Structure 1
């Protein structure tokens, strides 16, 4: 792992993103006095919950592709794609919290970054399987 420092740093930023969206849920819960275990209430709270859930869902797919791409193709390319994904997810979180209808462009950008990671990872694995 010591030869994949950029991917490791990118992973730490993903963890920071997950912490941030979780904290936003907590802040919205407190601001609108929504007691656990309730998951509905004020629209601001519901948007924060949806951003967190969606980010977790995508993170579960992004992380394996990120590390496979790094291991089989390269640290730099994986970190660049991962960083684009993180930036798009931050943009998505801000856009969704302000106006859910404005989340389309950052969602698409994040999906494209994930797709690139998946293709790069798949290419690297296939190349290794075929002896390249």
Structure 2
């Protein structure tokens, strides 16, 4: 495997390791020389600089939970109980808005974390909050009328692409350097 291939594989492993446990994430970053945080004298690493990104990740989970509660409430108010998912436009819009948000998570979360690792945790957390605001605007807009979802969609998709292309660009730059 070439040095460039190793760097790309390392970047991919970093993302998966980060979600497994912080200790293995630190070990991989230390082994590859990409340790952007303080090393404790007794070994291990501190992850303080990633706390804002972790907080945005957890807020994202709360947002998804809130959307799921809205879908459950809409099931109840329409009288269409699960597992049925059709029959009332309000229910169908609530389900679609919730599912659309879940569909964006595999794009948003890795992009935000890689942006935090390779650029800046503060900027990644800030952009993550903008993404959350866009998704909430999308959800609320979609519930009221399908055409009202576009402003939220524009905000969140632009933010996701900034995170995605920013992280990808930095990884490719470092890989080729």
Q: Shorter-chain TM-score: what band?
A: over 0.9
For 1:18, the equivalent position in structure 2 comes to: 64
Residue among 104, 109, 121 paired with 1:63 = 109
Q: CA deviation at 1:128?
A: 2.6
Is 68-77 or 120-129 further displaced after alignment?
120-129
Alignment check: 8 A CA contact 2:137 2:151 kept: no
Q: CA deviation at 1:99?
A: 1.1
Count of residues in correspondence between the two structures? 131
For 2:142, the equivalent position in structure 1 comes to: 96
- The equivalences for 1:40-59 within 5 A come to 40-59=86-105
Specify which structure has the bigger relative contact order, considering alpha-carbon pairs within 8 angstroms and separated by 6 or more residues: 1
Please state if 1:128 is matched with 2:169: no
- The equivalences for 1:79-94 within 5 A come to 79-94=125-140
Consecutive unaligned residues of structure 2, counting only runs of 5 or more, are 1-21, 23-46
Q: CA deviation at 1:73?
A: 0.9
For 2:74, the equivalent position in structure 1 comes to: 28
Please state if 1:73 is matched with 2:119: yes
| Structure number with bigger Rg | 2
Q: CA deviation at 1:16?
A: 0.9
Q: CA deviation at 1:59?
A: 1.2
Alignment check: 8 A CA contact 1:44 1:97 kept: yes
Alignment check: 8 A CA contact 2:134 2:152 kept: yes
Alignment check: 8 A CA contact 1:72 1:128 kept: no
Consecutive unaligned residues of structure 1, counting only runs of 5 or more, are none
TM-score (norm 2): 0.71
Q: CA deviation at 1:123?
A: 2.2
Q: CA deviation at 1:80?
A: 1.1
